[in-house]
Structure 1
């Protein structure tokens, strides 16, 4: 058992005194969180919480452990920070797995311009995974999709991407300059496994007459190239693939930086991310004119 990780979970539950809220804060489902707390109780040989249908309370043993657990977690974080300092300062940041390589390279370069002594270390994680990684200190900051229901996080400015539809070149809809969401009715849809964004996108699709026959999760476009599904994203210069804007720009995907504790270094990363995503990925400030369309790898950021 990873004792430090389980102590982190314990601290969050002790602070929330509500397993559902703690699970949201940690970016995980409630049943696995309850199981890990029970495993910690089994390992320690004592109950840490009194649970009832109405409330969760710390036991006396739980109250005694809380201060020690916070100190242990803080010391482990400090040891990690010291180890990083010994090797040169490293800033670990989460990025979506479908973030284009060119965008990552430009983001790293933009950050290094102002922080030549710091090494930016991107880690590919979906938003829910980033929320959990921020909670346990695995990463220092991230690039996340909204909406997010997680307490204890700070966010940078929200940027918006207006996606179009990706189709096979032989698809009859590729003959048109623009496509209405309702025109996609009955087709399969390929989407990244992002719970908040996925639910929001599907709700807007249903509202405008598109209910996918089947939903596929992933970032590879093999199904789209084969004409077996459509996807949403930025223009893509891929042989056999066509991109068309959606009539009325019905979809608007929001992204921002996120962190548990803001530091000057994280603030500089957030600023570099905004510059890069606006300049290289065609995103715009929330509430401003729609993002310009850019070419590159399909997906969330291209």
Structure 2
């Protein structure tokens, strides 16, 4: 028995006429009649009552028809699922986000992926530092990372999505909030709250900015999560240099000022495993790249 036998039987059962069923199947009537008899012979039951004007189902044929419809529908559905998976339109995806992207990009990413890839189940992991994301990619715990480069692993492919300005985060009421813009040298005598050295690209960026300005930052607190960093700033435990999207976190007690140094910027990048040629990853990368474009709605 082959699937074509089931499709032949379905056509005859629905048309109740061999001639019409043969026309529907784009084949001659005699071979169709022969195939149905072979099916009945293999099953050992009569499925159809035949006369010169029409064909009727036997009781066994009616019961068989119900199962045939279920089988063929399942086969068609399996084919559609396979095609959707092959096209990157169905499956599961895990996305890791660095702190600033968690607040500024994740909500829009979730909406856009839901709109453009409704058949994809997406899980997000927010507030992940770069080193944590690279390790999670290596372990295959996540499929895509939104991080601050570099990734530091030749097995990870990094695509720059955008460049974010760096700004100063200050406690409300701090004397420097009286200025509309700040130079990095204005922060020389201040206490700093900074991302932990081992895991964050921001640690190196802040140290380099201060070094160019001629001083070493007085680091009082090192934290892992961006939300904790801003909370420490709001509590008056120090100030921080952060990517501009962090201002969207909206922690009460924190105020932000732009920096005058044009080099005070940091990239946001999309990282994937270099050996991952999944169509789903390609589809998600396309959506995320479009979303992060400067002119994206």
Q: Which runs of 5+ in 1 are unaligned?
A: 1-84, 283-302
Checking the alignment, whether the CA contact within 8 Å between 1:140 and 1:259 is kept in structure 2 is: yes
Partner of 1:199: 204
Could you say which residue in structure 1 is the equivalent of 2:291? 276
Question: Offset of 1:89 from its aligned partner?
Answer: 1.8
Greater C-alpha Rg: 2
Q: Tell me which residue corresponds to 1:229.
A: 238
For the structure 1 residues 151 and 216, does the alpha-carbon distance in structure 2 shift closer, same or farther, using more than 3 Å as the test?
Answer: same
1:216 equivalent to 2:218? Answer no
- What's the counterpart of residue 4 of structure 1? none
Paired position in structure 1 for 2:119: 117
Q: In proportion to residue count, which structure has more helix? A: 2
Q: Is the 8 A contact 2:206 2:241 kept in 1?
A: no
Question: Could you tell me which residue of structure 1 aligns to residue 101 of structure 2?
Answer: 99
**1:256 equivalenced with 2:269 (yes/no):** yes
Structure 1 distance, partners of 2:154, 2:179, is 44
CA contact (8 A) 2:160 2:267 kept: no
SS at match of 2:105: helix
| 1:153 has 2:160 as partner | no
Q: Give structure 2 stretches of 5+ with no counterpart.
A: 1-84
Structure-to-structure mapping, 1:43-82, within 5 angstroms? none
Contact 2:109/2:291 (CA < 8 Å) preserved in 1? yes
Structure with greater strand percent: 2
1:151-171 deviation line (CA, Å, top 9, x unaligned): 111222342101210111211
TM-score (norm 2): 0.59
- Tell me which moved more, 228-237 or 241-250: 228-237
Query: Conserved in 2, the CA contact under 8 Å of 1:184 and 1:210?
Result: no
The count of corresponding residues between Structure 1 and Structure 2 is: 197
Which of 137, 143, 148 is the aligned partner of 1:134?
137
> 2:169 maps to what in 1?
166
CA contact (8 A) 2:162 2:294 kept: no
1:280 Cα offset (Å)? 10
Q: TM-score scaled to structure 1, two decimals? A: 0.58
Cα shift at 1:144? 1.7
> Hey, what's the Cα distance between the residues in 2 that align with 1:222 and 1:112?
32
In 2, are the aligned partners of 1:185 and 1:210 still within 8 Å (CA)?
A: yes
CA distance in 1, matches of 2:211, 2:159: 30
